[in-house]
Amino acid sequence: MLNKLKQKVSFAKRLLNIFSSPVLFDIQMTNKATCHDH
C-alpha cells in the first residue's frame, strides 16, 4: 500500500518536473524582458 503511494508520488513529481521546467524557463525569460523594459 505504502509502496504504491510512493510510486504515485514519484510519478507525479516527475510529471510536475516535465511540465514546470518549460514554464519556469518562460517565467524567467519574461521577468528578464520586463526588467529590461523599466
Q: What is the pLDDT of residues 1-38, one digit of tens each?
A: 789 999 999 999 999 888 888 888 888 888 888 876 55
Q: Can you give the pLDDT at residue 32?
A: 84
Q: Can you give the pLDDT at residue 3?
A: 93
DSSP state of 35: H
What is this structure's pTM?
0.52
User: CA 20, CA 8: separation in Å to the nearest integer?
Assistant: 18
DSSP state of 38: -
Q: Can you give the pLDDT at residue 5?
A: 93
Q: Can you give the pLDDT at residue 4?
A: 94
